[in-house]
Each structure stands twice: as C-alpha cells, then as structure tokens.
Structure 1
Amino acid sequence: MTSSPVAPGVAIEETAQLIAAAKVGGSPVFNRRGERLGTVEDVMLDKRSGRVAYAVMAFGGFLGIGERYHPLPWSMLRYDVDLGGYVVDLDRDQLEGAPSYATSEEVDWADRQWGQRVSDYYGVRPYWAEVP
C-alpha cells in the first residue's frame, strides 16, 4: 500500500477510476497533439458537492520565473493513460490570453464573476451549474 506523505497510513493507491488528490498534483498537462503545456499544481474542490472545480495548472515562464497559474475547469481535462497525464483541447496561444494569476497575486475563489469569466473563456458551464 502506498501512503500519503502528508498523512502517513492514508492509502493513495490509484485505480482505473480513482486517483488520490495528492497524486494529481505534479501531473503533466498536454494538448491534443501531445505537447506538454504545464503541470497540475493543485485541485480546487467544491466543499458542498464534493466535485472538483478546477485543476490549477502552472504554465509559462522559465525556471519558475514568470510562471503563471491557470485555473482549468475540471470538466475540460481527460486522463490519457499512454501519456501519463491530462489532456486538454487548448494550445499555448489560448493559454496566453486565459484568466491566470501569479504567485504574488491573491485570487478570490469565492468570486462568482471571476469563476464565470474562467468558464466563459473556455466555453464550459461553471462548476456550480453542472448537474451532478
């Protein structure tokens, strides 16, 4: 049994259908052509529904300088076993203009207007409007 580095003894085994949140962080994100776009840094969960709202992807910069964080609506990501990471139907140009933030910036995750802007940019329904 593989256990969590944060909570020793807590199983983080992966199955064909399930993955521990601790293992999602660090996963690569690719576009449809198989080009690596970035890395999932974290996931944001809706406390009430339990659904994943966003994968926060690190993108851009060089050696960590100028890197920005892009909240990707979780509904956009698909896991690809062959690539060993998540695939999104985006390219670098689309990410350059996408809603993002720097490490030094504060994000108000409770701001529904900001969340709507993220969803509108990617052309998906906001996580809070998705039917379970």
Structure 2
Amino acid sequence: MSLDDRLVKSAALVGLKIKDAGGHKLGVIRELFVDRDAGIVRYVAVEPAGLFAAGGKFRPLPWRLLTWDDKDEAYVADLTKDRFKEVPAYDRDQLNSATYGWGGQVERFFEGGV
C-alpha cells in the first residue's frame, strides 16, 4: 500500500462511525483535534450513539486508540462499550476553550491503559 492510499482528507473523517471490537457502534466522529506543532491528530470528538447520547456532549478519544477497519469502513476503538460510557463528556464550548483543560483530563482518564 502506498502513502497516497493511506491519506484521507479531514472532511472525509467527520461522520465516520466508531465501534468497539465487538462491532457495537459507539458514535460518530464530529471533530478532529490536531497538534499544530507535531502535525498529527491527537483526538477525535465522538458524538455518542443511541443510549450513550449525552445531550449535546462529545467524548474525546485519543487517536492512538483507533484502528481502521476496511471491511466496515469504520474506526475500531480499543475500549469496551462500558468504558466508552465512562469517558469524560464535554459540550462544544468546553472543547473550544483553550483554558478548559479537557485534553489533560482525557489523558489522565486513559493513563494506565483502557
């Protein structure tokens, strides 16, 4: 597979589903957060699906937890559905605030594994 085959536009990622290893839909990607100095995606803001929906709240997942599933054309998160429900949830204003500190909160949540 060439580099060109692995490149994807950010707009193509928004709306893609996220599922757990068991195939359960966790939600969809609504936003990407890029480390401007390193030039890599650090987090995706996931809008929870169905019963997980948190009334306009999003659960940020570290990009490192996601792997691409060609068959389902979705990302698989390296965490269970129950663990996903425990991920801190934030509204859009909190995610857009440079002073809120949600990135550090999410990193602390995932310290020591998922």
Deviation at 1:29, TM superposition (A): 0.3
What residue identity is the alignment partner of 2:75?
Y
Shift of 1:108: 5.6
Contact 1:32 1:89 in 2 (8 A): yes
After superposition, the C-alpha distances for 1:68-112 in whole angstroms (9 at most, x for unaligned) are: 201111111111101101001222221222111134x42365348
**TM-score where L is the length of structure 2:** 0.79
Asked if 1:28 is matched to 2:10, the reply is no
Stretches of structure 1 lacking an aligned partner (at least 5 in a row): 1-14, 126-132
Give the whole-Å Cα distance in 1 for the aligned partners of 2:23 and 2:44.
18
What is the number of residues matched between the two proteins?
109
**Distance in structure 1 (CA, Å) of the matches to 2:65 and 2:12:** 19
Which has more helix, going by share of residues? 2
Structure 1 residues 20 and 96, CA gap change in structure 2 (3 angstroms): same
Change (3 A) 1:26 1:93: same
- What corresponds to 1:82 in structure 2? 71
Deviation per residue, 1:27-47 (Å, 9 max, x gap): 000100111110001101111
Quote how far apart the aligned CAs of 1:18 are.
0.9
Where is the strand percentage greater, Structure 1 or Structure 2? 2
TM-score by length of 1: 0.69
Percent identical among aligned pairs is: 27
More RCO (CA 8 Å, sep 6+): 2
For the aligned residue pairs, the C-alpha RMSD in angstroms reads 2.6
Residue ranges of structure 2 left out of the alignment (5+ in a row): none
